[in-house]
């Protein structure tokens, strides 16, 4: 999508009525689908069904990401697939097994909750979490989530502010992000 058409979509989104239920999460962006990004070289299929990726005994800082999967009309999507994968505390991906890989489905209100660790950055990339999101039977959105204020962000050509999680002051281990997908 060109930046011009994207701006138009965002402008259109501003005109949508603001539903109070969505007001606390992100600025209302349901009019625009979440920006797609490359899946990168480390995606694997057949991940375990699990909402917690925390490894027993890991001393890495914990991270909980919550939010919803929404349609472009701001309708919560139940049973949407979310498949997450990210680097470990040393910036490495597990390409043999499934450490820090797992998929889950949204609940009846379109909500999800991912419990994991804060991934480390690795050469050339700022800190990020890969994800595929899909409404039942619809097109898969592949994208990445970023950490607001991470010093590596401006140095990473893939980083986008729109794909940053919202992290409340003093709650570094808790992020929120709503996905808007084709539905
Ligand atoms: Fe990555």
What spacing in Å lies between the alpha carbon of 162 and ligand 1's midpoint?
17
pLDDT digits (tens, 9 = 90+) for 54-89: 999 999 999 999 999 999 999 999 999 999 999 999
Burial class (CB in 10 A: 0-12, 13-18, 19+), 49: exposed
Spatial contact of 149 and 169, defined as CB atoms under 8 Å apart: no
Say what the pTM is.
0.84
CA-closest candidate to residue 161, choices 5, 48, 25, 26: 26
Protein residues near ligand 1, an ion, with CB under 5 A: 40
Report the separation in Å between the CA atom of 130 and the middle of ligand 1, taken as the mean of its atom positions.
Answer: 6
Q: What angle do CA 53, 97, 178 make, to 5 degrees?
A: 35
Please tell me the distance from the alpha carbon of residue 168 to that of residue 161, in angstroms, as a whole number.
16
Query: What digits encode the pLDDT tens for the residues 94-136?
Result: 999 999 999 999 999 999 999 999 999 999 999 999 999 999 9
């Amino acid at each position: 999508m060109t930046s011009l058409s994207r701006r138009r979509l965002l402008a259109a989104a501003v005109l949508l009525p603001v539903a109070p239920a969505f007001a606390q999460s992100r600025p209302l962006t349901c009019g625009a689908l979440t920006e797609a990004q490359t899946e990168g070289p480390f995606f694997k299929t057949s991940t375990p069904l699990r909402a917690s990726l925390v490894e027993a005994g890991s001393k890495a800082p914990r991270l909980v990401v919550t939010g919803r999967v929404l349609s472009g009309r701001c309708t919560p999507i139940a049973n949407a697939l979310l498949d997450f994968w990210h680097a470990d505390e040393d910036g490495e991906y597990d390409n043999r097994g499934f450490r820090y890989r797992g998929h889950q489905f949204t609940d009846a209100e379109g909500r999800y909750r991912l419990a994991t660790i804060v991934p480390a950055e690795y050469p050339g990339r700022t800190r990020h979490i890969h994800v595929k999101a899909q409404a039942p039977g619809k097109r898969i959105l592949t994208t990445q989530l970023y950490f607001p204020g991470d010093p590596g962000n401006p140095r990473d050509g893939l980083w986008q502010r729109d794909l940053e999680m919202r992290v409340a002051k003093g709650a570094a281990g808790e992020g929120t992000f709503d996905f808007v997908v084709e539905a």
